[in-house]
Structure 1
Amino acid sequence: MQLQQLAYFVAVAETRHFTQAAESMRVAQPSLSKQIKALETELGAPLFSRARGNVTLTPAGEALLPLARRMLADADTARQEVAELAGLRRGRVRLGATPSLCAGLLADALARFHRDYPGIRLHVEEGGSRDLVRALARGQIDLSLIITPLQHDDPSLVTEEILRENLVVVSPSHRRAGPPGDDMAIRRPYVRIEDLRGRPMVMFRRGYDLREATLAACRQAGFEPRFAVEGGEMDAVLRFVEAGLGVAVVPSMVLDGRPGLTGTPLAPPGLSRTIALANRKDVEPTRAAQAFRATLRTFLVEAAHEGTLPQGVELIAE
C-alpha cells in the first residue's frame, strides 16, 4: 500500500469522479485508475461501485476512507517536521539540464518537487553537457542532467546513469511546395544513417551533444553531412525542420506536442544516448539538492511503472 494510492483513493472518494480526481491530482486518468485497481487488489475488495456511470463507495471504501485521510495527514505532518529539521523549509536547488529534457519530462518532476518543498527556490540552467559540466566545476550549479559518456571523462564528477533515450530523424509531417525532389518528409518505417548522405540537414550549434553524435554517426558511415542551416538550439532546429529547411537527428521525446513533425526511427542498432545525473565529487550536494535527486528518482520509477515515460525513453535502473 502506497501513500500515493491512498491519495488517489481519497480524491476519487471526494469528487466521486475519476477524471476530476485525476485532474485535481495532476495525473493521467489511466494512471490513477491503475493505481486504484492495484490498491483494490492488495486489499482484496473493491473500493468503488461504478454502476451506470455513478461512482460510489463500497462498504470497504467507506471503512478505508477515514483511515486513509488519517494516514495522509500523519504523513504530511511527518514530512513537514522532517523538512523543518533538515532545513528544507527554505533554500535553493540549482539544476542544469539539456534543452530536450527541459522541454520534456523535467517540468513534471520539478512540479512535484515544488509541491513537496514549496519553500525551496528552483533555478534551472539550460545548455549542452559540456557547458553544464563546466558550470558544475565552477560551483554555479548543484546537480546536472548530462549526456554520457563525456568526450573527456572528468574524475571530479560523480555520475549516475538514469535514462536511455532513442534518437530519431525528424522531418516535416506533410509535403511542402517546392522544386521536384525537394520534399523533406520521410515516409518509411525506419531510415539508415547512410540515407542521410547528400540530404540537407539542420544542425545544432558547435559544442552541442546532438551535433557531435550526428557527425560521428555520419562519419562512421563514410560521409560528411550537408548542412542547410546550422547553429541553432533545440527549439530553433525543430522550427527550421518544420519549415522544410532539412532534416535533423533529435531525441524522440521532443516531438510531443509538435504535430507538424514526424520522427522516423533509425535502423537497428539505431542511435541512442544515456542521460546521467551528475554532481561534483569534492562537494557534498546540499540537502535541498539531495531531496531533488530523491524526488526525481521516485518520479522516474513511478513513470516507468505506469508507462508514462516519453516515447523512446527507458529507465536504466531502479
Structure 2
Amino acid sequence: MRRLSVFCLVVDAGGVTRAAEQLLVAQPSVSGQLRSLERSLGATLFVRSGSGLVLTEAGERVYQWAKEVLASSVQVQRDVDDLVAGTAGSLVAAASMAIGTYLLPPVMTALRAERTGADITVQISEPEIALRATQRGTVDLAVTSWIEGEMPDALVGEKLWEEPIVVCASPNGPPHSDSVTLAELAGLPLVGVPTGVSYHRMLVEQLRAHGVPELPAVIRLGHAEAIKEAVAANGWVSLSVGYTMHADLASGRLRAVRIRDAHLVEGIGLYHREAKYFSPLQSAAIEALRELGRSRCAVTPGP
C-alpha cells in the first residue's frame, strides 16, 4: 500500500522531486519505492522524456488500479474504525464554498440531532478539490455546482435541483426597478468573483449562451459574505445565487432583482464514487439532500 501511495503521488505531483518534497523525504527514497514496485509487478511503469517521467501503458493501467485500491482501503479502514468504536456511523462530506456555507449546515445539523452518536464533518473547498477528495475516497460524497458534460473519472453524479441566479442589490441603490435586462446589467457597478473559480466559469458560459460577453467588475471578491457586504455598503450589485441571500432579503438588508431576458442558474450536484457502499447514516444524508432538492424546486420554479 505504501508503494502504491508513493507511486500515485509521483504521478499526481508531476515527478519524483515534487513527491519527495510533499512527503518530506529524500528523493532517493521515493525512487527506491518506485523501483521496488516495478520489481514486484515485473513491469516498467515510467520512461524518461526530456527532464520528466512519462507513464508507460503498464504504468497507466497500474495507476488507475492503484487509485481504486487506495480509495477502497480508506473506506474499509473507516468502516472498521466505526465498528470497533461502536459509534452511530461517520459521514465526511465535501462541498463548494457557498453550498457548504448556506445549504449543507441545516441538513447536517438536523441529521446530527436525530443521531446523537453520529460523527459528521463537512469540508469546504473549491469544487475541483471536493471532487478529487471524493475520487480518492477520503470523503463519502460531495455537493458542488453541477458540472455539465463528461462525468469526472470514477464518479457518479446526480443533479439535485437548479437554483436561480438573480441580481443582488442594496435597498436604495441601482437598479431602480424590480427587474433588468442583461444589457442594463452591463451598465451597473458589478461586484464579481475571481476569474479562476468555477462559479465565474459557469456564469461566463451562461452569459455567452445569451450572446453577452463577460460583464465588467468594479471589484472581485472570493466569498458570498464579502460580496454581499460590498453590495450593501456601496450601492453596487452582484450576480448571486438565491440561497445565499435568504436572511438578507428577510431583513431588508438586500433585495433581489429579476433578469427579464435570461434565466441564469446554478445546478446543485451530488457526487460519489461508483463503487461506494453507504452506511445508514450516509444513506440518510443523501435522502435528506434529495428532499432539500425537492423542496427547493417547489419554491424556486423556472421562468
> TM-score, with normalisation over the residues of structure 2?
0.62
Aligned residue number for residue 153 of structure 1? 151
Aligned residue number for residue 243 of structure 2? 253
Amino acid at match of 2:125: G
Aligned residue number for residue 272 of structure 1? 265
- Matched residue SS, 2:263: coil
Residues 1:213 and 2:195 aligned together:
no
Aligned residue number for residue 228 of structure 2? 238
Structure 1 residues 194 and 88, CA gap change in structure 2 (3 angstroms): farther
1:111-260 superposed matches below 5 A: 111-150=109-148, 152-175=150-173, 185-220=174-209, 221-244=211-234, 246-258=236-248, 259-260=252-253
Amino acid at match of 1:240: A
Unpaired segments ≥5 residues, structure 1: 1-83, 176-184
Amino acid at match of 1:99: M
* RMSD (Å) for aligned C-alpha atoms: 3.0
Amino acid at match of 1:142: D
Selected match of 2:106 from 105, 108, 111: 108
How far the C-alpha of 1:151 sits from its partner, in A, is 5.8
Distance 2:92 2:233 in 1: 35
Structure 1 residues 269 and 242, CA gap change in structure 2 (3 angstroms): same
Aligned residue number for residue 67 of structure 2? none
How far the C-alpha of 1:166 sits from its partner, in A, is 0.6
Q: Would you say the 8 A contact 1:205–1:211 is kept in 2? A: yes
How far the C-alpha of 1:133 sits from its partner, in A, is 1.2
**What's the CA shift string for 1:273-295, capped at 9, x where partnerless?**
22121101133334432232133
Equivalent residue pairs, number: 216
- Matched residue SS, 1:158: strand
Aligned residue number for residue 283 of structure 1? 276
Distance 1:122 1:193 in 2: 42
Q: Would you say the 8 A contact 1:210–1:250 is kept in 2? A: no
Distance 2:146 2:297 in 1: 19
Amino acid at match of 1:166: P
- Choose between structure 1 and 2: higher helix proportion: 2
Distance 2:121 2:237 in 1: 33
How far the C-alpha of 1:189 sits from its partner, in A, is 2.9
Amino acid at match of 1:189: D
Distance 1:93 1:207 in 2: 30
- Matched residue SS, 1:256: helix
Residues 1:294 and 2:287 aligned together:
yes
- Matched residue SS, 1:194: helix
Aligned residue number for residue 25 of structure 2? none
- Matched residue SS, 1:211: helix
Structure 1 residues 226 and 298, CA gap change in structure 2 (3 angstroms): closer
> TM-score, with normalisation over the residues of structure 1?
0.59
**What's the CA shift string for 1:243-285, capped at 9, x where partnerless?**
2273211111211121221111222441122212110113333
**What's the CA shift string for 1:196-233, capped at 9, x where partnerless?**
22433211224433312322344443433212111411
Unpaired segments ≥5 residues, structure 2: 1-81
Residues 1:96 and 2:94 aligned together:
yes
- Matched residue SS, 2:99: helix
Aligned residue number for residue 80 of structure 1? none
How far the C-alpha of 1:113 sits from its partner, in A, is 0.7
Larger CA deviation: 290-299 vs 131-140: 290-299
How far the C-alpha of 1:298 sits from its partner, in A, is 4.3
Larger CA deviation: 260-269 vs 161-170: 260-269
Percent identical among aligned pairs is 19
- Matched residue SS, 2:247: coil
Structure 1 residues 131 and 193, CA gap change in structure 2 (3 angstroms): farther
